[in-house]
Every structure is written in C-alpha cells, then in structure tokens.
C-alpha cells in the first residue's frame, strides 16, 4: 500500500463512519492534537467527529535525513471522536483491517500509555496500540484540555503514518517508502530534513525566535483581552493561532539548545497559560454562538445551563452545559 493510499483509506474509512475529513492546519504544530479541530473542538458539549492527516514538526528530532526512523517532520493521521463511542476499539480495529492489518494474522495489543501535554494543559488515559511489537497508534480518552474537564469525552486516535506504511511495505527506512507508484518518501522529504535540521541546529538565530515568542504571546493575550464590535466574544481563533506559533518557537529554541533547564519549565508554563486562556474563551465563545453543533432542540437548554454555572468559572459552565443535554445523548450525533 502506497503511503498516500494509506491516507486515502483512513480518510474514506472514517468519513464512512461519520467523520468530517478536515484538512491539516496551516500553522506549524508539533502534533495533530494542536490542530484547532482537536484542541478546541474537544471542549464543551458539542459533538464533533473529524479525521485528518497532519504534518508535524519536531525540530529536536531532526537527523539531517540520516536516521531511518526519526525525523524533524513527519505525518500523523488523527481521528477525534466526540463523544467516544462505546465500540470505539472495534471501530479502530476495523480501520486496521481496512489497512490490511488483520488481527487474525498479527499480534494486536493495547498497552497502557497515559498521555499528558504540559504545554496544552491536557491529559488523557489510553494505550499505545502494538502491532507485532510495533507502536502503530496512540489511543487516548481525553479527560482534560486547556485545564478544562471534558464532557463528553473525546477518543483521539493518532496513527503513525510512516511506521504503518513501513510495516505494510516491508522497508527498513522511512526514506525508502513509496509515496505513490513513482515517488519515494525520501525523494519528497530528504532535502527538507537536511535543510531544516541544519537550520534548526546550526543556523537558527535564537534572538529572532525569542522575540517571536514574545510577540506571539503578546498578540495572543491582547486578542483575548479585547472586545470586538459585532463579535460574540474575543477573537479566540486567531489568538489560538498565536499560541500554536509560540509553541513552535519554543520547540525551535529548545532544539537549538537556547533554553536552560529552569527556563524550559517557565516557557512551558507560558504556552500552557495561552492554551488555557484560549480554551476558556473558546467555550465562552461557543456558548455565545448557542453551541451550534448541538441539535437545535437542545441548544437553548445547554446555553442556559452554561450561563448559570459559568458564574463560578468556565469549567463549571462547560460541565453544566454537557450535563444538561446528556440525557438526550441518543439524539446527538456520534461516530460509528
């Protein structure tokens, strides 16, 4: 199976089960979880099912294109199912079958792997899914994001695209992967890996990234603090974009070795602060919009419950809104 067919297959599989096939976010991110289609959509009472491939940048993992298993840029295929369906494991196993990984022929296991993102103020419980001893997917039940308790809970599936493709194609280096009939992964990606590893480790000017971080953080805060005419809430979507950009600036500085151990914690705290502020504003903004992804008949009661409870904080409001419609869970869309 060519790498691009793997993505097509997963897109089709999850589209058929009720997912919106989103597109990658056009900002640098370290993981698909940063995509607003995940990080923001998991918040609040509205249902949301989406699938998308995401190019991820991890500057510190750059190896100049020389390591067959590690690279500074790679692809994740991410699925978010909110609410998590009770048979989500079965759905997931069906997706492996669709890829040609039949549990009758392979040793598939769910091995504990709890997930935590200090920069996003997020955590969840779940597993890494092993296929013949190889981790092919991160499977997480999100419990909290941006410091907000999540209800309903989202099941997040993150497929390691290169790993699975290497396994299916029987190659030992990701650069030998066939992207399609004619082009290899190496032909597509190697120059990028070399140039970016060189840039990140040798050329990157820390002064510029430090300044960029401050700028992004300042803009994020400014936007969140500002009332805009005609908008129901502060401009949280651009604000969150600046949080993503700041996070990437931090990753670059970290890879460059420009951040000391103690400073590191402080920077992570600053990104988390942005993520939390965005999460809270986002929930408030969705409430102001009337939680439009809920069935029409349930929107008013959810907004009402939110407003009443939000006096003691957005977290309480988000939970109250979800609880006010939970009895009608059958009427709310879910994947499967």
The residue ranges that bind another protein (CB under 8 A) are 67-70, 83-86, 89, 103-112, 114, 124-125, 127, 131-134, 141, 143, 151-153, 155, 167, 172, 260-262, 322-323, 326, 329
Question: Alpha-carbon distance 300 to 328, whole Å?
Answer: 13
**CB 322 → another protein: shortest distance, Å?**
7
Nearest CB to another protein, comparing residues 129 and 243:
129
User: How near is the Cβ of 237 to another protein at its closest, in Å?
Assistant: 27
Largest Cα–Cα distance of the chain, in whole Å? 60
Question: Considering the complex, what minimum distance in angstroms separates the CB of residue 134 from another protein?
Answer: 5
Which CB atom, from 103 or from 118, has the smaller least distance to another protein? Answer: 103
Residue 170 C-beta: closest distance to another protein, Å: 9
Q: How far is CA 141 from CA 12, 28, 149, 152, 256, in A?
A: 23, 24, 12, 10, 33
CB of 64 to another protein, least distance (A): 13
Task: Round to whole Å and give the CA distance between 158 and 136.
Answer: 8
Of 84 and 299, which has the nearer Cβ to another protein?
84
Q: Between 82 and 286, whose beta carbon lies closer to another protein?
A: 82
For residue 244, the minimal CB distance to another protein (Å) is 27
**Which residue number, 134 or 316, has a Cβ lying nearer to another protein?**
134
Are 45 and 151 spatial neighbours (Cβ–Cβ below 8 Å)?
Answer: yes
Residue 321 contacts residue 2 (beta carbons within 8 Å): no
Write the CA distances from 210 to 11, 166, 204, 272, integer angstroms. 38, 37, 11, 17
Q: Which is nearer to another protein, 105 or 227 (CB)?
A: 105
Estimate to the nearest angstrom the gap between the alpha carbon of 236 and the chain centroid.
Answer: 17
Min CB(228)–another protein separation in Å: 34
**Which of 88/274 has CB closer to another protein?**
88
Provide the token pair at 108: 């598939």
**Which of 236, 325, 309, 304 minimizes the C-alpha distance to 45?**
325
Q: Which is nearer to another protein, 116 or 180 (CB)?
A: 116
For 239, the token pair is 């604000």
- At residue 293's C-alpha, the angle toward residues 290 and 294, to 5°, is 75
CB of 257: closest distance to another protein in angstroms? 11
* 178 DSSP β-pair partners: 184
Measured distance CA(322)–CA(83) in Å, rounded: 11
* Contact by Cβ (8 Å): 92, 127: no
């Amino acid at each position: 199976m060519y790498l691009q067919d793997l993505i097509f297959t997963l897109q089709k599989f999850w589209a058929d089960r009720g997912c919106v096939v989103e597109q990658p976010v056009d900002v640098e991110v370290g993981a698909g979880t940063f995509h607003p289609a995940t990080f923001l959509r998991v918040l609040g009472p509205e249902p949301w099912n989406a699938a998308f491939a995401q190019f991820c940048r991890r500057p510190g993992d750059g190896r100049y294109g020389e390591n067959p298993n590690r690279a500074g840029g790679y692809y994740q295929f991410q699925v978010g199912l909110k609410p998590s369906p009770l048979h989500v494991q079965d759905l997931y196993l069906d997706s492996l079958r669709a890829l040609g990984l039949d549990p009758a022929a392979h040793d598939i296991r769910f091995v504990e792997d709890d997930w935590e993102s200090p920069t996003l103020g997020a955590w969840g419980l779940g597993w890494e899914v092993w296929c013949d001893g190889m981790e092919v997917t991160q499977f997480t039940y999100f419990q909290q994001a941006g410091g907000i308790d999540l209800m309903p809970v989202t099941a997040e599936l993150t497929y390691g695209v290169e790993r699975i493709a290497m396994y299916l194609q029987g190659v030992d280096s990701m650069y030998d992967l066939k992207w399609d009939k004619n082009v290899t992964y190496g032909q597509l990606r190697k120059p990028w890996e070399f140039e970016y590893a060189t840039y990140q480790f040798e050329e990157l000017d820390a002064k510029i990234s430090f300044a960029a971080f401050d700028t992004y953080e300042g803009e994020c805060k400014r936007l969140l603090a500002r009332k805009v005419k005609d908008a129901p809430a502060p401009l949280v979507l651009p604000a969150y974009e600046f949080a993503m950009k700041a996070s990437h600036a931090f990753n670059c500085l970290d890879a460059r070795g420009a951040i000391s151990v103690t400073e590191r914690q402080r920077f992570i705290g600053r990104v988390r602060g942005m993520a939390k502020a965005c999460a809270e504003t986002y929930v408030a903004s969705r409430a102001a919009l009337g939680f439009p992804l809920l069935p029409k008949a349930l929107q008013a009661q959810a907004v009402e419950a939110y407003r009443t409870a939000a006096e003691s904080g957005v977290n309480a409001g988000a939970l109250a809104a979800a609880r006010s419609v939970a009895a009608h869970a059958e009427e709310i869309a879910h994947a499967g």
